[in-house]
Structure formats: C-alpha cells, structure tokens
Chains A and B, each alone.
Chain A
Amino acid sequence: MARKQTVRGRVSKPGPALQHGKYLFIVAFLLLPVGIYGLFVVSPYVQAIFISMTDWTGLTASQKWVGFDNYVKLFADEQFLVALKNNAILLVVVPAVTVLLGLFFASMLNVGRRGKSGVEGVRGSSVYKIVYFFPQVLSVAIVGVLFKYVFAPTEAGGILNGFLRAIGLDSIALPWLGDPNFAFWCVVLVMIWSFVGFYVVLFSAAMQSIPKDIYEAALLDGANRFTTFRHVTLPLVWDTVQVGWVYLAIQAMDAFAFVHIMLGISGGPSRAGDVLGVALYRSAFNDYRFGYASALGVVLLVLTLIVAVLFLRVARRERVELS
C-alpha cells in the first residue's frame, strides 16, 4: 500500500478544475451498472435472507416475521443432516477423484509415451481427446436419464445388470438405485464420469504449454514416468489444477439435477441420497415453505463461500515461473 502510494505520488497533482465535481462524475458513470447489479444480484440475496426469516408459503402477498425460527428448525431436521452429510461426501470425493483421473488421462494423452522425438501422447490420443469430451456435450438431464436406465433393475432392462448377468455375476446384479447403500454412490459415479472429460481437456491445454525440452532434460537424467509427472508436469500445471479444484468443489456442492433425476425429489430409497439442493427445491416447490427453503438456501450460500475460500487457501502453493 505504502509503496503504491509513493508511486502514485509521482503523478502530478490535478488542478482544482479536475477536483471539482469529481464524485458527480464518478457516480454518473457508476449509477447504471451498480443499479443493475443491485437490482438483479444484491436485491435477490437480501430478499432471500429476509424471506428466510418469515413464514412465507410462496402463495400469499403477506408473511409473518419469525426471526431465526427457520434456522432452528433446519438444524433440528434430521433430513437436513442427511443432505449435509451427502454434500460433504460429494465435496471430498468428487473433486479428488475427478482431478486425479483428469490428471492421469491428460498426462497419458500428452506426455504418456516416450517416442523418438522425446515425450508424446499415447497412440490414438487425438481420438481419446474427443471421446473424453463427449459427456460434457450432453446436458445433465440427458446424462441423468441415461444412467437411470443403466442402473435400472434387470426386469426393467437395466444395462449394467444385463452385462453383469452376461458375465455370470448374477449375485451382484442389484437394484442399484433402489438400495440406500448404493443409490447415492451411483450418483457420485455418474457425476465423476460426466465431469472428468472437461478436466482432461483443461489439463491437456495446460500440459501442451509445457516446453518439451524440460521433458528431454528429465529423460536424459533418467527420470521415470512417475517422477517426471510428479516433479515436472504437476508443478507446471498446478495453477490450472487449482482453478479446476475450486470450480469442481462448487459444482459438487450443487448435484441437484443428478440427484433429482436419478433418485427423485424425496432423495431416493430411505431418503438416504438427499442433497441440500434437492432439499431446498422440495421445501419450496413441493411443500410450499419458501421461508424454510430460503433459510436452506442461505445456509447453502454460506457453505459454498466457505468451501471456495478454503479450497483456494489449501491449493495455494508457490508458483513455478516458466520463463
């Protein structure tokens, strides 16, 4: 701060003419954008916080102020705790597995083979790159419906169970989405499947910008593939991994569409697969308790902010300068 001021201090002082009406000038420029921001971004947040302290049902023009009642009810609601636990699982498992898989595939596609000209991607990597991106092209709704049929019971034409039976594993051909022990993990699996392609492409782009001579030097020094990955590739794409990590954490906090489509609005068998997004939707549009749903939304907002900050902090690491 102090340094900046000395730098700024060198700028010649503006004359009285410029000082005159300075604020009016600035305000005139800011009025419109800040106004729009206030109306469409800030005001909905403020309204949500206000609604969360009322008993509004979503169907009336009036509502009663109830203070923190909704929040007290929320933390006494066992279904909220189920959803919270599942969101915690999503938060840990989905980013971790997706980033690991994404790094693995990306490094295989870009620096996986040691050919005549140093390192290059494994055979057919240009095809894989496109194939990995397929899930990203499909909308979440389609992915959800598709996998609902993959995991369906055998009698309803389930593809996975059909496959399991074909190879003689009849005993583990279970009604996956109808079993509280597996239903939620099926969703986790599908989320990872649909996310990983994007991160393969993201990490690939980062890896392509690494100069090949660094790899050649590592090769000459006799570094094996894992060491190369650990000490050359990873540090040089760390910035990208960090971005992906935070983005994934926020994506995983949502999971609404996947759970809603694959497990339904109640949160699946024994209601064990519930997540906060679905619980919020259910409270608002099924139960018509908009006050309660807004309280849930405010909690979800706070959690997402905390997660974003934490992930940014944890992932912070010394940057390696390339030039």
Chain B
Amino acid sequence: MTNFSADWSRRNFLRGALATGALVLPGSGFLAGCATSGGGQEQTEGEKTADNPLGVPTDQPLEIYIFNGGFGDKYATGIHEPMYSKKYPDAKINHKAEVDIAGALQSRFVGGNPPDFVNDSGDGQIPLGQLVSDDQLYDLTDLFEAPSWDDPNKKVKDTLVPGAIQQGTFGDKPYVLHMALTVFGLWYNKTLFDEHGWTPPKTWADMTELSKDIKAANIAPWAYQGIHARYMTWPLLTMAAKLGGPDVLKAIDNLEKGAWQHEAIKESANALAGLRSAGYYLSGTEGMDHIQSQNAWSEGKAAFIPCGSWLESEQKDVTPEGFEFAFTPEPLLSGDSAMPFETIYAAPGEPYIVPKQAKNPRGGLEYMRIMLSNEGAKGFTKETSSLTVVDGSADGVELPAGLTSAKKALDAAGDDVVSWMYQTWYAKMWNPGINAHIGDLLAARKSVDEFTAACEAEAQKVRDDDSITKYTR
C-alpha cells in the first residue's frame, strides 16, 4: 500500500487527468463534435408527366436560400415562390433570406443536409469551382433540356441568350444557373457630358484628346475602384479582345503559356498605364475602395469609371439630382482591330445552384424553370433593375436610364459579345492574385512588362497546383 502524500505528486495528478481526458475523448460527444464528420439525407422524386416534366414531388417542401444583398429577396417572395405555390399547392415553401451564405450553409454542405435551392452570391459566396470539384452540385442538364414553362415545344436552353449555359458549365456539365445578365463597360454622366459638349470616344486617340479637355475643366478623366483594382481587368481584357480577337481571352481561360504576354494585352495595359503617367486618374483613386471611388465619381469628380451594370442601383442613394447614367463600350486601341467598337463584355452573373445532396433537388430545378419563364424573368428585371439571360425578357419593361443605355449597347453589339471564365474557374488567381498586380500597374509601381510577367506567374501557380481542377473551353 503506497503512502498518500508520497505518491500524490503533481506529475501523477496530471497523468491521471490526461487519462481521464483520453477516456472521454473517443466518446460519442467527440465524434459528433468533429468538424469534418457528415451524414446524408433521403432524396425524393415525383413522377415525370407532360405537366411535370422534371418529376417534382408535388407534396414535398422546398427550402430556398436567397442572398439578401443588392437584389434583395423580393423577386423570390413576390414572383417566383407564388408561381411555384400556385402550381404545387401542397408543397410548402421554406424561404430564407441570408446575407452570409457561407456562414449559414458551409456546415450544412459538410453535414450532407443542404437546402434545395441556393442563391450562392455576395461576400459570403462559396466558390462555385470549389463546390463543383467537391461534387456538391446537382447536374442541371435536365433543366436546360426540359420544355420551357411558356412553350412546351421549346426547350429551356433555347430561350436563353448565347453563353448563358456556358458560364455555369464546368467540364462538360452545367452546374450553375446564372440569372442576371451583366454588361460591363465605361459609365459617365450624360448631363455633364452634354453640358461641356463632350461625346464618349470611339478610339483611344480620341480618349486621350477628350481626357485633355476634361482635365482642363478641372475634372479627373478616369477613376477606378482603388484597392479593388481588379475592376480594371474588365476594360483591360475587353480592349485586348477588340484588338486581338476573342482567342486572346480563350488562351487566358485555358491557362496557355504566354497568354498574358500577348501583344494585345500589353497594348491594352500600356493604354491604361498611360492614363496614370498623363495624370488622368482621379488623385488618390489608388487608395480608395469601390465605395469611395464610385461616390467621388457620382459627385462629378471623375468623368469615366469602369463597372458592371449593377452600378446604377449600387449608387442609387448618392446619385445627385440631374445625374443621367450612361454607358459606353471601351474605345478601340487601333484602327486595325479584330472586333468592332460595339463589342462588349457581357457575362451572366448572380449564380443559383441546387445542391447534390438536397432533399428535393427536382423541386429546385423546377424553381429554376420558373425563374427562366417569361413572367419570372420579367419580374426579376422589374424588381432588381437587372437584365436577365432570358432572351428578350427585358423588352417592353420600363428600365432606368443607365440600364436602358446598357441594353442599347448590348443590342448594338449583336454577336460581338465577349466573356471569359478564369474569374469563375480560378477565382483565387483573379483575386487576390491579379487584383494586386493590376493595382501595381495602375499606381505605376509595376511596368507593363512586369505586370504581364506577374500575371503569367499567377497562371503558372494555378498550372502547377494539382489540387485545383483545370477546365478548358
């Protein structure tokens, strides 16, 4: 028998405590508390009929997550959800509006019990490429092959603008529905331009001429989103594509060696960097964020700013009276260009997904079919002031001035619409990667050659990283 005081040392105490802890750890509480453990849930499916081509289980609830950001969630509660309820009166709709999608849903993806339909957008967006390579998304092929809501003789895919499905396609399958059609270009205040008798230039030479006049009027010719300098990659690549043709962009998407060092990219980068050396950027714009720079532009401190067509609603609260939003495509770098001036960058945006492990994925698909109906798309445009990927859905809808101007430009572009995929496929390469480099270029911290070399290095990083799934188009 050992002596209590002699053997009861601190060391033994700790040993005993650890042993107790170790006994507790493998218990059920530990396993349930594991961050990486998951389960699964039963999926239901209804019978496919002419009236119900996607086989929606008519009496099963549908859980919907809408990102409550710039677009709000009224388009869902006011238009699409009532349409679904009307067709399936026995199905209960469980609507959730959420600001932080990842915060709300990451653990549910891991746990294998995600909702049936998700608007994966905003600051808390879960990267789509990552969801696809983790096999978390439901294949949308059935949706696009199904007859459309309005006309059973027309498939859903035939009601959309070109490129709409491509934008959500990874490998050979569509996984993401992009609803909004965003038009990118340069924005200006038409009232201000009319006052001074300025017209938006069609060539870069004219842009430099006009910038001289604008500067003489004590206004900065250009502003950009400062620390989010990646907004400037849009004019950079669009102007490069106009000069060198759309293959310039394809090479970038396919991560081809030397894609970023193409002559057209260098030419375009040179033009944008030239605005810095000529002093045509708003003073201090490189140190602002998107809110500060766009507000300075709204206040009339700068003439042009690059952005997507959400700008008008984003600036709604700070737009002064008499300000008229207007859109113009980027000027041509040279008279000898591969594509016309009217060419614009337009990309389907605002992603919607159906999780692969959802309880009611067919209901999710049907909900998408409703969104892509004529009524659904028109309602979306009315509620959000955004164009949609549904062909002709904005015709006859009264749009605000800026969007009208952008739509006109889109119509004028016809088939000369460019877009690219690397931003979605390799999100990290674009931001923070290229975001930092173009910031350096525009603040004259990097030369054009250093900039293109740095972008090449970012592409190289993606090529070398075998944990990233690669795609080609």
- Which residues on A are within 8 Å of B, measured CB to CB? 5, 8-9, 11, 13-14, 16, 18-19, 22-23, 26-27, 30-31, 34-35, 37-39, 42-43, 46-47, 51, 54-63, 151-158, 161, 174-180, 263-271, 282, 285-289
Contact = CB atoms under 8 A, between A and B. Distances in A.
A178 B24 contact: no
24 contacts: A9-B6, A14-B4, A18-B4, A30-B17, A34-B17, A39-B24, A39-B29, A39-B33, A43-B30, A46-B25, A59-B110, A61-B38, A61-B39, A153-B292, A155-B220, A155-B284, A156-B287, A178-B226, A264-B228, A265-B432, A266-B227, A266-B432, A266-B435, A288-B127
Contacts of B36: 47, 51, 54, 56, 61-63
Which of B35, B293, B428, B443 has most A Cβ within 10 Å? B35
Interface string B415-457: 0000000000000100110011001100101000000000000
B35 A42 contact: no
Nearest to B103: A285
Contact of A35 (B1, B24, B431): B24
Contact of B24 (A38, A154, A271): A38
Interface residues of B, number: 62
Contacts of B29: 35, 39
Interface in B122-167: 126-127, 130-131, 133-136
A59 B29 CA distance: 22
A266 B436 contact: yes
A268 B439 CA distance: 10
A267 B436 CA distance: 9
A26 B15 CA distance: 13
Contact of A155 (B34, B228, B283): B283
B286 interface: yes
Name the prevailing secondary structure of the A interface residues: helix
Contacts, number: 174
B287 A176 contact: yes
Contacts of B126: 59, 288
Contacts of A180: 445
A156 B292 contact: yes
B288 interface: yes
A60 B110 contact: yes
Given A39-B33, A59-B136, A288 B1 contact: no
A11 to B, nearest CB: 6
Contacts of A35: 20-21, 24, 29
Given A152-B287, A268-B227, A22 B20 contact: no
B25 A19 contact: no
Contacts of A265: 432
Given A156-B296, A158-B284, 4 more contacts: A30-B16, A43-B33, A47-B36, A156-B293
A272 to B, nearest CB: 9
B218 interface: no
B49 interface: no
